[in-house]
Structure 1
Amino acid sequence: MTVRLRLFLIQRIKICKNVVSLNFKQKKMKKLFFIAVISVFALSSCCDKEKNIEKEVIITKDSSDVSNSEYQVAATLWFQKSAEARAIYYQTFSYAKLVLDDKLKKDRFKIKKKKPKAVITDIDETVLNNSPYNARLIETGTHFDTKSWTKWVNEKRAEALPGAVDFAHFVKEKGIEIFYISNRSVKNLQTTLENLQNAGFPFADKKHILLKDKTSDKTIRRNIVLKDYDVILYLGDNLRDFDENFKYSKNMNRNDSVNMHSNLFGTNYIAFPNPMYGEWEKEAYKGHFSKTDAEKRKMRIDALDTN
């Protein structure tokens, strides 16, 4: 074997060794690469699974919250967005004008001079719209409390309900005074007065606004007005705006009470709809407002008549 041939063979052997070595390293790298890829996918899968679990928990929690407050969502949405709700307010105030005119016509034939005439109206959800406050409670997942309510009242942003200002001026033009009797706290007198003034209501002054001091019973405040005035019409969204006898009691069905006094509605009492809150809730909860949301939800469902 010549020297040149020997050198050639040695070079070929070295090249083969390098190729083998490289192939081995590549195979090893490939193996490591595949292991790394599999690990990444495994971790990714775990993360996705955790995210899915977390998402499921959130959805379940949200669904529960929505279920517990769904009647509030639907009620507030109806009050704010429903054209039917707006129509009912226009219709009811228009009817109140007719009732008032009819009473004044009949009064002309009475010889005996009486006290000056007055109309008593509730404020919230009767002439002023506080549904944005309810919407805030839904948005934050909270319930009514004095602090948040006072904050809303102090903003003086409650708008007049459809037909309310027009009716109030109609009453004034007839020579009749309006008294606003509300269960807003007497501490909110100034802000309530300003809110009514800003919305365009007449008689928005300290004489004509009677707010709650110690009790939510409006009888004493109504009697203050009745002492000097002949009250010919009452307006409200809660039956207790008309008479304290409509207050919830375990021994009395409020629907039966309304049936017994049906002749007063549309003549002396003008009622407005309020699906967001009111004395009617006590019927479903049997007077127990301290129940949990879950318990209240069950009680609402149990109170439904399916027959």
Structure 2
Amino acid sequence: MPLPPLTPTLLLAVTLTAAAQPAPPTPTPDSLAQVNGVLWTQQAVEHQAVSLAMYRAASAALVAAAQAPVKAGAWATLETGPASTGRKAVVMDLDETVLDNAAYSAWLAKANQHYVEPTWQDWMALRQAKAIPGALEFVRLAAKLKVDVFFITNRECVPKDADPCPALEHTRRNLLALGFERAAQPEAFMLKKQRPEWDSSDKTSRRQLVAQTHQIVMLVGDDMGDFLPVAKVAALRAGTPDAETDRAMTLLGKRWFVIPNPMYGSWEKAVPRDALGRLGALQAPEGWGAP
């Protein structure tokens, strides 16, 4: 049917309705600084390609690791144990390794917000994170090879009502909806603050617990903290790694597999938080300027 004529009264009503809508926030330099990393994660074919490539390489390495006998010296971690059961394990991070949270980062950028725990808890409750390309196939392969996957994550247990850790159930249901059958087993998860002694972002003690019952043959993550103790990561970033770290770094591409994450990570501790400070931290050629 034809639209009614745009009379002065109707025009005023439309104008008032539009004025009542909150204006989108003006982008700040800090929010704009997040845009490229989020766009690359959400839209670049290269992000899909490199994630798939890393998981395919990890899958080939896992087949070999699963077939090898349990023996000393075959650990993929600095944390070792008796592995008395003969079971093998892969330890994986979750966020930006298995689960894609770029939509949350996109919201932060568009709303001029920084990461804070309450909005992150709200995001987890939505259970809308997608799977990183290649992750589902890799976890399914591990199950087929009878290698147990453990998800050691810094998703945090923040009690709400009578639930001491809503993040655990939200995470499990998100993964189950994506087809990760391992998520049906709560013991596969180790969240920050799930136990009193797990009150740090350092994952060392949690890897050590897995090592008491399993030989850890592979690590997969998006941050060096998924592979090394926090103190060793800091020394590595400062260019002063110890000999143990140097030896461990030889596992990259063999037993350690890093999924790219340009949006956030412990690398941010080594650079200024604000956008202008980060601009000053860029390393350009000295004594040279374009004509």
TM range (shorter): 0.7 to 0.9
2:44 maps to what in 1?
Answer: 82
The whole-number CA distance in structure 2 between the counterparts of 1:238 and 1:246 is 14
Determine which structure has greater relative contact order: mean sequence separation of CA pairs < 8 Å that are 6+ residues apart, divided by chain length.
2
SS in 2 for 1:107: coil
Deviations 1:165-198 (A, max 9, x none): 0111011100111001100013211111111111
Are positions 1:253 and 2:237 aligned together? Answer: yes
Are positions 1:305 and 2:283 aligned together? Answer: yes
2:268 maps to what in 1?
Answer: 281
Are positions 1:150 and 2:134 aligned together? Answer: no
SS in 2 for 1:227: coil
- 2:267 aligned partner, one-letter code: W
The whole-number CA distance in structure 1 between the counterparts of 2:137 and 2:58 is 11
Aligned pairs (5 A) from 1:209-220: 209-213=189-193, 214-220=199-205
2:53 maps to what in 1?
Answer: 91
2:229 maps to what in 1?
Answer: 244
Higher helix share: 1
State the 1:299 CA deviation: 2.1
Over aligned residues, Cα RMSD in angstroms?
A: 2.5
Give the direction of change, closer, same or farther, for the CA distance of 1:96–1:72 in structure 2 (3 Å limit). same
Given the alignment, which residue of 195, 201, 204 partners 2:174? 195
The whole-number CA distance in structure 2 between the counterparts of 1:155 and 1:93 is 27
Give the direction of change, closer, same or farther, for the CA distance of 1:119–1:109 in structure 2 (3 Å limit). closer
2:212 maps to what in 1?
Answer: 227
Are positions 1:161 and 2:132 aligned together? Answer: yes
State the 1:62 CA deviation: 3.9
State the 1:247 CA deviation: 5.5
Give the direction of change, closer, same or farther, for the CA distance of 1:151–1:207 in structure 2 (3 Å limit). same
The whole-number CA distance in structure 2 between the counterparts of 1:252 and 1:126 is 21
State the 1:113 CA deviation: 8.0
**TM-score, normalised with respect to structure 2:** 0.74
Deviations 1:121-167 (A, max 9, x none): 00000000001000111111111111111110001111111111011
**TM-score, normalised with respect to structure 1:** 0.71
Are positions 1:107 and 2:85 aligned together? Answer: no
Are positions 1:140 and 2:111 aligned together? Answer: yes
The count of aligned residue pairs is 235
- 1:253 aligned partner, one-letter code: R
- 2:237 aligned partner, one-letter code: N
Give the direction of change, closer, same or farther, for the CA distance of 1:131–1:109 in structure 2 (3 Å limit). closer
The whole-number CA distance in structure 2 between the counterparts of 1:255 and 1:184 is 29
Q: Structure 1, unaligned stretches of length 5 or more?
A: 1-57, 290-295
The whole-number CA distance in structure 1 between the counterparts of 2:257 and 2:279 is 29
SS in 2 for 1:233: strand
The whole-number CA distance in structure 2 between the counterparts of 1:101 and 1:227 is 23
SS in 1 for 2:182: coil
1:270 maps to what in 2?
Answer: 257
State the 1:199 CA deviation: 1.1
The whole-number CA distance in structure 2 between the counterparts of 1:179 and 1:253 is 27
SS in 1 for 2:65: helix
State the 1:219 CA deviation: 1.1
The whole-number CA distance in structure 1 between the counterparts of 2:239 and 2:93 is 21
2:75 maps to what in 1?
Answer: none
Are positions 1:179 and 2:179 aligned together? Answer: no
- 2:118 aligned partner, one-letter code: K
State the 1:105 CA deviation: 3.9
Q: 2:88, 2:215 within 8 Å by CA — same for their partners in 1?
A: yes
Give the direction of change, closer, same or farther, for the CA distance of 1:220–1:108 in structure 2 (3 Å limit). closer
**Alignment identity in percent?**
30
SS in 1 for 2:32: helix
State the 1:229 CA deviation: 0.3
SS in 2 for 1:118: strand
The whole-number CA distance in structure 2 between the counterparts of 1:176 and 1:239 is 23
1:26 maps to what in 2?
Answer: none
State the 1:108 CA deviation: 8.1
- 1:265 aligned partner, one-letter code: L
1:52 maps to what in 2?
Answer: none
Q: 1:246, 1:254 within 8 Å by CA — same for their partners in 2?
A: no
Q: Structure 2, unaligned stretches of length 5 or more?
A: 1-22, 73-82, 158-164, 194-198, 286-291
